[in-house]
Structure formats: C-alpha cells, structure tokens
Structure 1
Amino acid sequence: MRTVLTLTGVVLVVGSVLVFLAADQVVAVLAPGFDESTADLAARLTRIVVVAALFVAGTDILAAACQAHGRFFASGIQGVPFNVVMIAAAAWAGPRVGIESLAVGFVVGSAARLLVQLPAVRAAGMRLRPQLALRDPDVREVLRLTPALLVGSAVLNVNTLVDRAVGSAQGEGVITSLSLGFRVIHLVDALLVVTVVAALYPAFSEAGAAERRHDLRQLVDRTLRVMVALLMPVVAALVVLARPVVQLLFGRGDFDAAAVSATATAVAWYAAAVLGVAVRSIASRAFLAVGDSRTPTVVAVVAMVVNVVGDLTLGVTFGIAGLAVSTSLSLLVGGVLAVALLARRQAAVDAGRLARSAARSGCAALVAGVAAAAVVAWALPAGQSAAAAVAQIAGGAAVLGPVFVVVLLLLRGPELADLIGLLPGRASRGGRR
C-alpha cells in the first residue's frame, strides 16, 4: 500500500504541476465554447481544483487498503462530508465569495474525504511512510491490473470532458446546472451505493475462487436484485422531487428561479444514472473478483461511445436535458451490458429473473411516482421558499414510499421480502437461520 501511495503521489505531483502551468491551454481544448473572460475564469478555477488531485487519489488508495482489512465504515461515508462541503460552498459561500467558492469547496471537501480515512488507517495498523518496493509481488499484481483500470477511468473522464465541451457552447449556466445536478446524484450514490459496493467487494473476492464460484453467483444475483428494488423508488423520487430538492439545497442568493429550474431539469434526467452506476459497479467488481479486468474496460468503452454520440446529438439539440439523458443512457447501457456479459461468461446472474424483478420494481416505482407527483402538484403549497420545498419533499416521500410497498405487495414478487431483509437485525436473524 505504501509503495502504491508513493508512486501515485509522485505521478500526481508532476501531473498537477503541468496542469497548473498549462491551465489556459487545457481550458481552450476542453471548453472551446467559452468566451475570453469565461475561459480566464475557468483557467483560474482549474489551478485551484488541481490541488485536490492528491487528496482524491490518497483517499481512494487508503479506502481500498482499509476495506482489505475489513474496515468499511470510513470508505462508506467518505462521500457525505465531501458533498456537505460542496453544497455548503454553493449555498452559503457562493453568494458571498462567488464561483471560486465551489473550487475551494472541492479542495476542502476532498481533504475532508481523506481525513475521514485516517482513523481507520490507524486502527488497521497501517503506517503512512514513503516506500518504493517495486519487486513486491502484491505491487506487481497492482501494476498488472493498472492499465485496464486506467482505461476504464479515462473513459469516465472522457465522458465528463465531452459533456463540458458541448455544454460550454449551450449558453451561460449550463455547465453549472449539470455539475450541481450531478452533485445531488452523487450524494445519493455515496449514501446508498458506494457503502454497499465497498462492503461487498471483499466478499466477492473471497467467493471468486474457483471452488466457490457457486457462492459468488448467488451473492451477485441477489445483490443485483436487491439493489435494483432499493433504487427504483429513489429514481422516482429524484424525478418527482427534483425541483424542491434543488430549491432547498441551492435556492438562495444569486441562485434564482431560472437556475433552480435548470438544475432541477438536470437532476430529473440524471436520476436513472443512479441505477446504472449501481448495477455496473456491482457487475464490475464481480468481474474483478474472478480476475477479469478486461470486460469492465470493454463495457466502459461502449458506455463512452453512447455518451459521446448522445452529447453530440441529444445534447446539442436539447441542451441540459439532452446532456443529462446522454449520461444516464450511457450508464444504463453499461450496466445492462455488464450484467449480460456476467450472465454469459460467468453464469453469475439469472438475467431473466433479474429482468422480471426490475420490471415489478419499476412498475411499482412508476405508480408511486405518479401518485407522489399528483400530491405535490395539487395538495401541497407551491412557491420558492425553503418551507414550501420541505413540505413538498416530505409530502411526496410520505406518499411515494407506502404506494411503492403496496404495489409490490399486489404484484406478489420477492422484492419486498428482500428489502425487509436489509433492515438492521433482520439480516443477522436470517443468517442464524
């Protein structure tokens, strides 16, 4: 771990210095639609944000090391302080300091993510000292897997870069709305997906041995069904409650009604991305557990193509909605493709059973979403105030949850029992049986 951390630090320091020095050229390539003043601002923000590179990489490495020692809490909650800092930067510091507050918030939030890992690192007995042991077998294994993983990571970054490049030519505020909209999605991902996936990876790795492949198949299959059933109503809630959520989080200062509407549009069309991220993350980790790093890379490339094509067609035509749809489509396509390949190559998923479960959960979420939307539109107070936003969120959620459960009961599927099994105490009792 220390060797990987040292190598990463050296590479990132060099890369960060280069980006800092060439920020103007980087912005010219990535955001060709910016005018001169906006490009200067973007370059200034880039020089601030690049400081966070070391924090982000250090956090990911330390979180993975802690997970290998059976410690998941810190890695599971790391997204929470980051998103809290970012939202605070936008809601409180933004009206007072300006757009630079978001860049500083990104750096501070990234540092907060790193600090969250330190107690777990200390508890696991790991020492943070520089080391270069390139002949260590574990280091060589990491280096062997790195190229494929770098391609997958690069693909995700290409998606973001194309989104920003197309968005930069769509008008003022488009990139900000997309960034803040996806920040809401990322918060949901951090709370509901990252924690589960992080805890599952060691279990996948343990079950990935050839003699335990049957256990891996059962674990992956059930995890996917439970995650889909859990996230379907979340997707519905993000669509229905996008506007009051954005109003509550960001609707103050210079963030006027037009900005709320634009960002809410991004949140609503990004909503399905939560499902795509979760499914693809689970499937990718199952592949890695059996030593297959190539398939997740292929899936990432296909998803990138979908996103780029969508950006250049839907994004150019429909602006914020089109760009958000392109991202969601790419993640959903990647998730479906990963599951299909997992079923075909590893027989780790009953694709038909998963499709039927997703259809039942989707139907229940659709009915619940329509019911919640009707209550929000007709029975709850409208307006731009925080109080109205809280009432709409609480009222919509109070309707959506029970209706979702009732429809699942009527459909007589196993999803409700699976979700109940996630409740504290239920899982342990089920395990004792």
Structure 2
Amino acid sequence: MSKVAKAALGLMVATLLAKILGFGRELTLASVYGASSTSDAFLVAMNIPAVIFTAIGTSLGTAFIPIYCDVKSKLGENGAKKYTNNVFNIVVMICIVLSIIGAIFTPQIVKLFAVGFEGETLRQATYFTRVMILGITFLGMSYIMMAYLQVNDNFVIPGLMSIPYNILIIVGIIASAKINPNFLPWGAFIGLSLQFLFQFPFAMKKGYRYRPYVDFKDEQMKKMLWLIMPVLIGVAVNQMNTIVDRTIASTLVEGSISALNYANKLNQFVMGMFIVSISSVIYPVLSKLSTEDNKKEFNKSIVTSVNTVSLLVIPISVGAIILANPIVKLLFQRGEFDARATHMTAIALVFYSIGMIGFGLRDILGKVFYSLQDTKTPMTNGIIAMFTNIVLNLLFVKFTNMQLAGLAFATSISALITITLLFISLRKKIGPFGGKSILIVMLKSILSAAMMAIVTLVVYKFLGNILGSGFINEAITLALSVGAGAIVYGLSIIVLKVDEVNLIIDKVKEKIKKN
C-alpha cells in the first residue's frame, strides 16, 4: 500500500471515530429537543461562527500548504516556522476583531441568518450566538494548526480534533436539559478551545515553536493573500448557500431548519468520512506534482481520486434515497423526535442524496485547481452555482409545493452543475486528463448501484414482513438489507472490471502469495 493510500486510510479511520461522535451529538440534540424552536435557535447559533470563519479558515489552509512548502525549500526549517508564526498571529488578531464586532451586532447577524425568527426563538438564538461567536479565535488557531500538521504529514490528529468538541457539546445539551436551555452554547464554546489545545502538542512534536512575530509586509504573506481572496470568495459562496437555505427554511413550518440540518449531517457524514480524507491527503501530492511539472502522474492522480469518490459515493447516495425513512427513523426517532420530524428529515435526505456525488467531486476538483495555483476558476463556478441555488430555491419553494424538499433539491442541482462546469474548465486548462476513464467508471458504478438498489429493497421488504417492528428488529432488517446490497454492488463492479477494484484485488493476491 502506498504512503498516500495509508495516509488516506488512517485519516478515514480517524474521521470515522470523530463522525460517529459528531453523529451522537446530533442524536442527543434530536432526542432532547427534537425539531423545535430551541433546536432551531441552537443550530443557527452553531452555524453562524462556522459560516463566518469556515470560509476564512478553509482559504487559509488551502493557501498555507503550497506556500509553506515553497518557503521551506528556499529558506529552510527556520524560515517555514517564521512564516507559520506570522500567519498564526495575524489570524488571531483578525479573529479577535471579528469576535468583538460579532458580539456587538449579534441581533442583526441572527436576523440575517434566520429572517423568520421572532419572540423567544429570536432571543434564544441571539444569546446562543453571542456565546458561540466568542470562540472564533480558537477556531482560527485550530485551522492553522490543522494545516501545519497536514503539511508535515500528520493527517490523523486533525481528523480527531472534533472529538473533544463533540463531547463537550453533548455534555452541554444534556446539562441544559437538566439546568437551563441557556447552558446549551457553553459546551460548544469550551469545545472550540479544546480543538486547538488538542492539536497543539502534536504540532510541537513536529517542530512547531510559537513566537510573537508579526510582519504584514512579508512577501510570503502578500503571496498568500493573493491566493486566498478567490478561495475565500469561493468558499464563502458555498456558505451563502447554507445561509439562503436556512433563511428560507425559517419561513416554513417549525422544525424545518432542524430537519434540514439532520439530513445534511447524514450527508456530511459520508463527505467527511471519505471525501475530506481523500482530498486532504491528495492535495499536497498534487501540489508537489504540479510544481515538478509531472503531467502524467498528475493526471493519473486526478483520475484515481475521482474514480475512488464515484465508486464510494454513488452506492451510498442510492442507498440513502431508497432507505431514507427507515434510516432516519432508526437513528433519530426517540424522545422529542417524533414521526413528523422523521418524515421531514427523510424527505430532505432523499433530495440531498441526489447531489451527493456533486458535493464529493466538487471538493476534489477544487483541490486540483488549487494545486495548479488557479483559485479563480473554482470561485467563478461557485458563484454561478450560488445564483443557481438561490433561483431554484425560490422556484421550488414559492412556485411549487416542494417546500422543504425543494431547498434540498436546489442544493443538489447546483452541486451537479458546479462539477460539470469544473470538469469542462479543467479540460480546457490542462487538456485531456482521463475523462473517458472517469465517465466509464461512473456508468459502471451507477449500473452496479441500480442492481444493488433492487436487491436491497427486496431483502428489506422480505425481512420486514418476517421480523416486524421494534428497534432491534428494524435495526437487523436494515443492517442485513444494506449488507446484501453492498455484496451485490461489490460483486457487480468486480464483474464489470473496474480498474481501481482490480488493483485492490491484485494487491490482496500478492499478499496471499507472499504469505
């Protein structure tokens, strides 16, 4: 197994642990508060600092890695550490300013994110947000440490950093139910600080040493800012889609924001587990190959990454579509999360799942352009997708009867349009890179997923009639149905001779022969 594959696998395992705990956080919130005004207010408060700084943090990480490599090669280890401290300190200063501004204008910010909130819901959301926004500085420091660890070949710790964060949120949710709902955001605030503190010792093991150094005129900082701006706009555009969705959802029936969130979390579980793991590991590799002008290996890495994502995501998206209701019921329906909340969340999950392949490939293709030091193309395509999402949101919600489903469907369509534009732009930029191979694998995956869907539904209905209802029986039915479908999908792609799968089989055969 290659070093890249091992790193990706290690990050997947770490991400799986973190995502399971994060999913436990959503289950806890759903069980304690259901799809209510309090859960709506808390989710909006959680989203605001994420939207404010995720765009900045992601942009910093994207620009930090290639410039760090360049500085290290030219100025050595000390120059790289100096550059890291400069970025770190400037980010802290910016975050402090943003925190102060956010704390002052919290009511206005909340109204921007949730225009339909009024009365007690608005009061709760304002209080929750003011507490959460104070943690932006810790969020900023976490992003820098994450980028530093990744560029120094440590992918597991950044993958695990959300564990203490999610633990504290769960504690906060449980404590708030017993003490007072106003206790809800404090667990998240403390958790944000622990994300940074969790990573810092490992960064020191990799050689990082903090120094109070700031130089706004540094040439590397100027270069980084030049790369950041288009990335920042592009990421902010994606965040704007979330704002638009939740703003419109706040005007629909109570619990719409929560239902969208729970469905989106299921979607993000897949994205975080597989896509982020692959893109995080492949990005430094692509950057190095681009610098070396190794076109053959560069194109090969693109094809392998895209095909891997397709083979993983397409069957999962199909499975989520056909089993949305039993999945949501099994995972969420307990406590305050009733059948109505299950129905709402399942509908959103179905329409989010349609665009799951778009969400996955968008991240991979974005990293390809960034490794080519082209940050403008993803930004431009992202802006087009944002306007498409807004137009479709209004069309589906206002002029059809889709309502909540329309919001999720619009997001999926905009993601699919984005990857289509990115593929076209990439071919124009670097020429043929293996598009035929990518298309063939996609078609084989879709065909295999279709056969998987038929078998899964047949097994699910058959077992459902035999075992009946009840949590344990439903869990067994769902697990066996998914297992049967996975076997059919795996056998199908083997029969269809997908190159990536044949490569794995050959590697396994080699290991067996050696033993």
Match of residue 308 from structure 1: 390
Question: Which amino acid counterpart does residue 360 of structure 1 have in structure 2?
Answer: K
Match of residue 230 from structure 2: 148
Match 1:379 to one of 463, 475, 496 = 463
State the 1:297 CA deviation: 0.7
Q: Deviations over 1:135-192 (max 9, x none)?
A: 3333222111121111012101211111011101111000011112212222222211
Residue 285 of structure 2 aligns to a residue in which SS? helix
Question: Which amino acid counterpart does residue 163 of structure 1 have in structure 2?
Answer: D
Question: In 2, distance between residues paired with 1:102 and 1:146?
Answer: 34
Moved more, 80-89 or 386-395: 80-89
Match of residue 414 from structure 1: 499
Aligned length: 426
Question: Does 2:99 align with 1:16?
Answer: yes
Match 2:481 to one of 382, 390, 396 = 396
Question: In 1, distance between residues paired with 2:95 and 2:328?
Answer: 34
Question: In 1, distance between residues paired with 2:111 and 2:426?
Answer: 40
Query: Structure 1 residues 190 and 78 mapped into 2: Cα distance closer, same or farther (>3 Å)?
Result: farther
Question: In 1, distance between residues paired with 2:454 and 2:155?
Answer: 37
Question: Which amino acid counterpart does residue 482 of structure 2 have in structure 1?
Answer: A
Moved more, 402-411 or 74-83: 74-83
State the 1:59 CA deviation: 2.1
Match 1:207 to one of 258, 269, 289 = 289
What stretches of structure 2 of length at least 5 have no aligned partner?
1-83
Question: Does 2:379 align with 1:297?
Answer: yes
Question: In 2, distance between residues paired with 1:419 and 1:171?
Answer: 49
Match 1:369 to one of 453, 457, 473 = 453
Q: Deviations over 1:412-431 (max 9, x none)?
A: 4335325657xxx75997xx
Question: In 2, distance between residues paired with 1:148 and 1:234?
Answer: 32
Match of residue 127 from structure 2: 44
Match of residue 76 from structure 1: 159
Question: Which amino acid counterpart does residue 162 of structure 1 have in structure 2?
Answer: V
Contact 1:343 1:350 in 2 (8 A): no
Residue 34 of structure 1 aligns to a residue in which SS? coil
Question: Which amino acid counterpart does residue 429 of structure 2 have in structure 1?
Answer: R
Contact 1:229 1:415 in 2 (8 A): no
Question: In 2, distance between residues paired with 1:112 and 1:30?
Answer: 26
Question: Does 2:61 align with 1:61?
Answer: no
Query: Structure 1 residues 108 and 399 mapped into 2: Cα distance closer, same or farther (>3 Å)?
Result: farther
Contact 2:303 2:437 in 1 (8 A): no
Question: Does 2:321 align with 1:239?
Answer: yes
Match of residue 434 from structure 2: 350
Question: In 2, distance between residues paired with 1:107 and 1:336?
Answer: 39
Residue 208 of structure 1 aligns to a residue in which SS? helix
Match of residue 127 from structure 1: 209
Question: Which amino acid counterpart does residue 448 of structure 2 have in structure 1?
Answer: A
Aligned positions of 1:213-232 closer than 5 A: 213-232=295-314
Match of residue 339 from structure 1: 423
Question: In 2, distance between residues paired with 1:74 and 1:221?
Answer: 27
Question: In 2, distance between residues paired with 1:275 and 1:230?
Answer: 9
Question: In 2, distance between residues paired with 1:416 and 1:151?
Answer: 37
Question: Which amino acid counterpart does residue 406 of structure 1 have in structure 2?
Answer: L
Contact 2:494 2:502 in 1 (8 A): no
State the 1:409 CA deviation: 3.3
Aligned positions of 1:47-196 closer than 5 A: 47-78=130-161, 96=178, 103-104=185-186, 106-196=188-278
Residue 379 of structure 1 aligns to a residue in which SS? helix
Match of residue 319 from structure 1: 403
Q: Deviations over 1:301-359 (max 9, x none)?
A: 12211211121112443122111111122222212221221122113632232122111
Query: Structure 1 residues 192 and 427 mapped into 2: Cα distance closer, same or farther (>3 Å)?
Result: farther
Question: Which amino acid counterpart does residue 10 of structure 1 have in structure 2?
Answer: M
Q: Deviations over 1:246-282 (max 9, x none)?
A: 3344322211121122122222222244322221111
TM-score by length of 1: 0.88
Query: Structure 1 residues 274 and 106 mapped into 2: Cα distance closer, same or farther (>3 Å)?
Result: farther
Residue 293 of structure 2 aligns to a residue in which SS? helix
Query: Structure 1 residues 100 and 243 mapped into 2: Cα distance closer, same or farther (>3 Å)?
Result: farther
Question: In 1, distance between residues paired with 2:168 and 2:434?
Answer: 41
